[in-house]
Amino acid sequence: MNSRTPYQTFRWHSEIFDCYSNDIEQFERQLLQETARLQLKPRVIGHIDGWPLQLWQSPAANAGLPSVLISSGFHGEEAAGPWGMLHFMSELTDTIFTQVNLTLLPLANPTGFSKGHRFNRFGENPNRGYLSVGDGATPSLEGKLLLAHAQLLLAASRDGILTCHEDILSQQTYLYAFEPSKQPGAFSQGLLAALTQYFPVTEAAVIDDCPVENGIIFNHFDSSFEAWLVRSGAKAGACSETPAKANFDRRILANSAVMQQFIAGSHN
Ligand SMILES: [Zn+2]
């Protein structure tokens, strides 16, 4: 964590999308196309420097279906998450709405994304300060907006939350996972397997002071968005980490695959 600098900028070219990773105009254009095609319902949570902080939801919620939330783009330089979500959306049909109540938060940190740097333009970390865990972190502007919509987010993630990050220092993949059990179960293992189709699993035994076992950091409660939602009642949670030292399009495909697996694992 210490060697990740908040204002170092990163940019990669995507052959799949024919643009650079920080091209927010292109991202928003394609996002509007996909959300219109799927008839997803927008829920604007606020604005950051003119960019919407926005959720997209199933056209009609069905009380009998699991409610799941997928988020990405909390750290601006971890660009394969949001582009991976676009790729994931491009492969969806409206069959999805008979399987889950879907909520998407594609781009949590638009100002960081457009600059290709980690923190938002105010120098805040958008993935800290959601839970009081003694790290002294306070919520960012994005965090305050999300916390102000706690009820909506808790309902949306009741049966699961997946958030997609990248590790800028890594050539290998790993997963933070939360399940109400002593050991990672089918939920966590399925997500890790989706990632390891694309990248080798990390050999690290410790990452950011957390013990890693076979690629999984299990039930580690920090002050992140995902830890907050699990602590607040989500049945399961995960944070995927793709390696930002690997090819950008491959990272996009891995993010799309882990989102597909999350949905498949949520309604079976
Ligand atoms: Zn991150």
Tens of pLDDT, residues 142-193? 999 999 999 999 999 999 999 999 999 999 999 999 999 999 999 999 999 9
Please pick, among 77, 142, 166, 241, the residue that the annotation labels catalytic.
241
Q: Are strands 101-105 and 206-207 parallel, antiparallel or unpaired?
A: unpaired
CA of 166 to the centre of ligand 1 (A): 6
Predicted confidence band of residue 7 (pLDDT cuts 50, 70, 90): confident
Whether the CB-CB separation of 128 and 29 falls below 8 Å is answered with no
Catalytic-residue membership of 241: yes
Q: Which two tokens mark 173?
A: 């993949």
CA distance 245 to 182: 32
Residues 54-112 pLDDT 10s: 999 999 999 999 999 999 999 999 999 999 999 999 999 999 999 999 999 999 999 99
Q: Does residue 2 register a pLDDT over 60?
A: no
* Per-residue model confidence (pLDDT) at position 93: 97
> Which pair of structure tokens corresponds to residue 80?
């394969």
The rounded distance, in Å, linking the Cα atoms of 215 and 173 is: 7
Q: What is the pLDDT of residue 103?
A: 98
pLDDT tens digits, residue range 240-256? 999 999 999 999 999 99
The confidence score (pLDDT) of residue 3 equals 57
- Which tens digits make up the pLDDT trace of 184-218? 999 999 999 999 999 999 999 999 999 999 999 99
Distance 64 CA to ligand 1 centre (A): 33
| pLDDT score at 6 | 79
Q: How far is the CA of 107 from the centre of ligand 1 (A)?
A: 12
CA 37–ligand 1 middle distance (angstroms): 29
CA of 75 to the centre of ligand 1 (A): 5
Delineate the domains of the chain, giving CATH numbers in brackets. Answer: 13-266 (3.40.630.10)
pLDDT of 1 > 60? The answer is: no
